[in-house]
Amino acid sequence: MVGILLKPFGTRCFFNPVQEVSLNKRIRYGMRLTLILNLIKTFSRDAIVNKNCALKFRAILLFASLLSGGTATAAEFTAGPVFTDFGKKTTVEGVQFDASAHFKVAFDVAKGADAGSLNRQFDSLARFINMHVASGVPAQNITLALVVHGGATLDLLNAVAYQQKQQAANPNIRLIDALLRHNVRVIVCGQSAAAHGYEKADFISGVEVALSAMSAHALLQQQGYTLNPF
Predicted confidence (pLDDT) per residue in 96-155, tens digit: 999 999 999 999 999 999 999 999 999 999 999 999 999 999 999 999 999 999 999 999
Question: Strand pairing partners for 103?
Answer: 142
How many independent structural domains does the chain possess? 2
Q: Residue 228 in contact with residue 107, Cβ under 8 Å?
A: yes
The pairing of strands 142-148 and 185-189 is: parallel
Residue where a domain terminates, one of 45, 68, 91: 68
Secondary structure element (H or E) that encloses residue 54, with its range = helix 51-68
- Does residue 167 belong to any structural domain of this protein? yes
Q: Residue 157 in contact with residue 202, Cβ under 8 Å?
A: yes
Cis ω on the peptide bond leading into residue 17 (within 30° of 0)? no
What pLDDT is stored for residue 75 in this prediction?
A: 81
Closest CA relative to residue 11, chosen from 46, 44, 39: 46
- Does residue 56 belong to any structural domain of this protein? yes
- Does residue 60 belong to any structural domain of this protein? yes
- Does residue 97 belong to any structural domain of this protein? no
Owning domain of residue 12: 2-68
Residue spans of beta strands (DSSP E) within the chain: 103-109, 142-148, 185-189, 208-210, 226-227
Say how far apart CA 60 and CA 52 lie, in whole Å. Answer: 13
Residue where a domain terminates, one of 68, 93, 120: 68
The region of weakest confidence among 53-62, 137-146, 198-207 is: 53-62
CATH number at residue 175: 3.40.1260.10
- Does residue 86 belong to any structural domain of this protein? no
Residue 113 CB neighbours (<10 A): 21
Residue where a domain terminates, one of 68, 90, 111: 68
Q: Residue 33 in contact with residue 21, Cβ under 8 Å?
A: no
- DSSP label of 119: -
Q: Are residues 37 and 121 in the same domain?
A: no
Say how far apart CA 88 and CA 147 lie, in whole Å. Answer: 21
Mean pLDDT of the chain: 82
The region of weakest confidence among 9-13, 38-42, 223-227 is: 9-13
Residue 100 CB neighbours (<10 A): 9
